[in-house]
């Protein structure tokens, strides 16, 4: 008995398929749309946005990392002038940049000043993202009574964070589920399944969203019922 496992062929944006035993029946990376876009936000500790965005419909992959500074090859212990950030690969026909911006504003306090590691920043990647970010910031100025400190900066270079920070909740607090997926270190960054599960296990999306999530159809009944239980607990994110 065999099941298909899809693996992202980086750069070419295409899929090749390998066959492997049914016990690891998981499609690791979804079909990436040819018009895929990337959004980059910083909103405090990056574990939470990884989970929040990872389980939204239309989001294909997320990765946490460091950006906004000048130091080459920053690390968690030597961040230099960088900020913790999230990179989100999304299908703009399914989820818009505006919707991602709404989630950005709603899920941290953009009026609070932090040290550089935890700044609130929208790193726009093109002119369209820049003007949407400016508009949304203007709108938010009527929503928040305190001054918004969020910076709008052009995207430059994104350095992936260490593997142990990727899909942090899934790999640290839900080890049985995580181990059952048989992910390789690279999959922590590329896997759609890991991104989704990392969000669902900390209650970042609803049971309805989970049940209608076509990316997760390959989950075993045991894993499925575990995730359902986790969703029922409500939001469990912490940083
Ligand atoms: N309170 C957390 C922050 C982690 S974060 C990725 C810690 O000190 O480990 O900045």
pLDDT tens, 5-30? 333 333 333 333 333 333 343 446 66
What pLDDT score was predicted for residue 33?
84
**Run of H or E including 160:** strand 159-160
**Ligand 1 atom with the shortest distance to the CA of 44:** 10
Model confidence, pTM:
0.89
Distance 76 CA to ligand 1 centre (A): 9
Judge contact between 192 and 57, C-beta under 8 A: no
171, pLDDT greater than 50: yes
Q: State in Å: Cα 126 to ligand 1 middle.
A: 30
Which own/partner contact pairs does 202-205 have at CB distance under 8 Å and 24+ positions apart? 202/51, 202/169, 202/230, 202/235, 202/236, 202/237, 203/230, 203/231, 203/233, 203/234, 203/235, 203/236, 203/237, 204/51, 204/52, 204/54, 204/55, 204/235, 204/237, 205/55, 205/56, 205/231
Distance 62 CA to ligand 1 centre (A): 18
Q: What number does the ligand 1 atom closest to the CA of 165 have? A: 6
Contact 86, 51 (CB under 8 A): no
């Amino acid at each position: 008995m065999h099941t298909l496992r899809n693996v992202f062929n980086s750069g070419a944006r295409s899929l090749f398929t390998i066959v492997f035993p049914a016990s690891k029946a998981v499609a690791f990376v979804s079909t990436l749309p040819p018009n895929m876009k990337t959004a980059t936000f910083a909103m405090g500790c990056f574990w939470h946005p990884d989970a929040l965005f990872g389980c939204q419909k239309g989001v294909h992959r997320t990765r946490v990392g460091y950006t906004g500074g000048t130091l080459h090859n920053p690390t968690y212990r030597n961040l230099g002038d960088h900020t913790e950030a999230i990179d989100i690969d999304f299908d703009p026909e399914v989820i818009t940049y505006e919707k991602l911006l709404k989630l950005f504003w709603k899920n941290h306090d953009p009026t609070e000043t932090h040290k550089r590691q935890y700044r609130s920043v929208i790193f726009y990647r093109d002119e369209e993202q820049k003007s949407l970010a400016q508009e949304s910031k203007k709108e938010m100025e009527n929503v928040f009574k305190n001054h918004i400190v969020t910076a709008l900066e052009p995207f430059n270079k994104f350095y992936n964070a260490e593997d142990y920070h990727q899909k942090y909740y899934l790999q640290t607090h839900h080890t049985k589920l995580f181990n059952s997926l048989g992910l390789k270190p690279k999959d922590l960054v590329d896997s759609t399944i890991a991104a989704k599960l990392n969000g669902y296990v900390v209650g970042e999306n609803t049971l309805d969203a989970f049940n209608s999530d076509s990316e997760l159809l390959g989950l075993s009944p045991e894993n499925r019922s575990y995730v359902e239980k986790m969703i029922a607990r409500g939001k469990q994110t912490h940083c």
